[in-house]
Structure 1
């Protein structure tokens, strides 16, 4: 499976909270079942202690009209972390890399 992963730290309105937005795009040959399983696995990451208040949201597919505005992305993940250190812990976790 080829997956395009784009991660972006969102501007924070406080000095303490760090947000991360990740967009996912799959090759055309990836099945719907595989995408569904991938989304299910992403949602499990909210249980990591470094995710603030278990605030990790996974959404998709895009309902943007016209669909071209979504630029082909299939899923988005938005996660919240107490600070930069918690974000780094999240990104380094074994679960994040599985």
Structure 2
């Protein structure tokens, strides 16, 4: 079975909420698949974003592309009541 990165915008995912945003480094950079782009926050803690998947997904692994032990991530998932789509909420703790 081929694994697909369903978290990418090219696969239909969207960032539907972010607790802060920067014009030059918007939250959509989180899921653009480009390791040279990033989401910049205001610096206030903690920060959070919600990724909307176009179908139900099973998250088996999270890949962090930043220095080890610099951030801690918590993953929450829930089924939306009306859209019956899967969303993931990732809290970034400092």
Q: TM-score, normalised by structure 2?
A: 0.45
Rg larger for: 1
More relative contact order in 1 or in 2 (CA 8 Å, sep 6+)? 1
Structure number with the higher helix fraction is 1
Q: TM-score, normalised by structure 1?
A: 0.43
